Amino acid sequence: MLGFLAVSFGAAGVGGTLTSRTVKTWYRGLRKSRLNPPSWIFGPVWTVLYAMIAVSGWLVWRGSTSEGTEGRGRAALSAWGVQLGLNVLWSGAFFAGRSPGAALGVIAALWTSIVVCVGLSARISVAAAGVLGPYLAWTTFASYLNLRVWQLNRR
C-alpha cells in the first residue's frame, strides 16, 4: 500500500509544483464559470482523490496475485499509471503551459483513461473500480471548468 501512496502522492507533488507557479497570478486573473469552486476546496479534494487512486491501484495489485488474473492485473495497473501520468500532464498543460485549449485535449484523454482504468480494474476488484468513481466525477466536473475557462478567455 505504501508504494501506491508514494507514487500517487508523488504525482500529486509534481502536479502541485506545476500548478503553484501560476495559480496565484495567471489563473487568478482568468474569467471562470460561476460554478467554479473557491480555491481552498481544491487541495482537500485532491488529497482525498489521490489517496483513493492509491487505494484503487493497491486493490488491483493485491487482487491480481491470484491464479489467472496476472494479465488482467498488468493491464489494469498500466491503465492506472497512464491516468496518473495524464493527470500530471494536465497540470503541465493548463497551469505551467498556460494553455486551457491544450489542457482540454489532455483532460479528454485523462477522462477516457480513467474510464478504461475503471473497466479494467472492475475485472480484478469491484471495490478498486468503485473507489475511482469520485475521481471520475471530479474529472468530469473539471473538464467542464476547463472548457469554460477556455471559452471565456479566448482572444
Q: What is the CATH number of the domain that holds 77?
A: 1.20.1260.100
What is the domain count for the chain? Answer: 1
CA 21/CA 74 separation, integer angstroms = 35
Instruction: Name the H helices within the chain.
Output: 2-20, 42-63, 70-91, 100-122, 126-131, 133-153
What are 133-148's pLDDT values in tens digits? 999 999 999 999 999 9
Residue range(s) defining the domain that contains residue 68: 2-153
Instruction: Using alpha carbons, list the distances in angstroms from residue 89 to 54, 68, 86, 126, 132.
Output: 18, 33, 5, 27, 19
Whole-model pTM?
Answer: 0.92
Question: Is pLDDT of 111 > 70?
Answer: yes
pLDDT for 64: 82
Tell me which DSSP letter residue 97 carries.
S
